[in-house]
Structure 1
Amino acid sequence: MLITHEREKLIQAINFFVRNTKKCGKVKLFKLLYFLDFEHFKQTGRSVTGQNYFAWPKGPVPVDLNNEIENPMPDMAEAFQFQKKPIKDSWALDITPNVEFSERNFTKREMMILKNLAEEYKNADANSMIEATHLENLPWDKIYNQDRKKQQIIPYELSIRNDERDRLIKIVNDRQELLEKLR
């Protein structure tokens, strides 16, 4: 399996959130990754982990990661132990890191967003995380409630307000021009 830069960031972002927040099961983790990716996209025009998020009833879900947790790829299986724990009438996913956290693949901006999210949601439970992603006019709400596109992909572009879109387009264009000059 080819381990990409985004894949390494995904694994290390999971590692970071599990280590730096309480009660970080699957639901909370998925919402933290969503906030990480969409906030970074809003600031730079790029996600951190490369995940696509879909509008499910309880909020945004990175479907590929959701599916992988059932049958982890070797790098994910090496990095984490996933164990289902019974709770009330259901179960919760307990995630235990097997590797140390490394920030070497993250930019300063990405680390700042990771730290801010971990601090803001340190003690939040799954239901609070669901509520936070369901706020009116956030990307999940726009797709799930406003457009009624249930189970559909949530475009990253929805994280950008119209007045911010022009600024982001300029950043992306400037980056493209720089890359052309470097070639």
Structure 2
Amino acid sequence: MKAFRPDSAKLRELILYICNRCDLMPSWGRTKLAKLLYFSDFRHYRKHGRPITCAIYVCAPQGPIPDGFHDRLKELTKGGDLVEIKREIGDYSELRPTAVRPANLKDFAPEEISTVEWVINEYAGLTATELSEISHREPGWMLANPGERIPYEAALISKERPTEEELDFLRKQLALEAR
């Protein structure tokens, strides 16, 4: 298992970037932000072999969350880069993280921003509950116990059953290796 060094500056800027892109959506809050960060890092790992922020994600009841996520939001708020607007929705209270400044993207590769944009386009229209349900079907979340780290390698585990053609190919490969 390869260990990546978390890049707290990139995580901070990615939080601001996603907030700038999503904070005007009807359904927006901390849970949704955490899921979009997770899907961005894990999709990028699956496609490019390296996550964007290298953040450590842990298994939480609502799904994967960056380790220290709430502390990171407090730091951004204390630094004046983020505000959290409280909104009442029925008997539920939503904290909407809202960026005060644009994200600094100088340390991001174009393919990293492309991955984040894909994730936003794919998932941002869903509710936090829907995103949590999707994240609960992720192999990494299913394999980890509450509070445990979710390894990036879990992004490589297929969620789909292999086709007969794929199984035949694998059987042939195994037979060749057995010779």
**Separation in 1, partners of 2:153, 2:86:** 34
Is the aligned partner of 1:33 residue 2:37?
Answer: yes
Q: Which amino acid is 2:149 matched to? A: I
Q: Secondary structure at the match of 1:150?
A: coil
Contact 2:59 2:148 in 1 (8 A): yes
Q: Please, which of 128, 152, 171 is the counterpart of residue 156 of structure 1? A: 152
Equivalent residue number for residue 88 of structure 1: 90
Show structure 2 runs of 5+ residues with no match. 159-179
| CA drift at 1:25 | 1.0
C-alpha distance after superposition, 1:77-131 (max 9, x if no partner): 3321123333333421111211123332211110110110111123211111111
Secondary structure of the residue that 1:27 maps to in structure 2?
Answer: helix
- Quick check: which has more Rg, 1 or 2? 2
- Stretches of structure 1 lacking an aligned partner (at least 5 in a row): 144-148, 163-183
Correspondent of 2:124 among 122, 125, 142: 122
User: What is the aligned residue count?
Assistant: 151
What's the CA shift for 1:73?
Answer: 5.5
Q: Is the 8 A contact 2:84 2:98 kept in 1?
A: yes
Q: TM-score normalized by structure 2?
A: 0.73
Distance 1:115 1:84, change over 3 A: same
Partner Cα distance (1:67, 1:7) in 2: 12
Identity across aligned pairs (percent)?
26
What amino acid does structure 2 have at the position aligned with 1:67?
D
Give yes or no for contact 1:8–1:105 (8 Å, CA) kept in 2: no
- The answer (yes or no) to whether the contact 1:17–1:24 under 8 Å persists in 2 is no
TM-score calculated relative to the size of structure 1: 0.72
Task: Quote the residue 2:63 is aligned against.
Answer: 59
Query: Which residue matches 2:16?
Result: 15
Q: Which residue of 1 aligns with 2:108?
A: 106
Q: Which letter maps to 1:107?
A: A
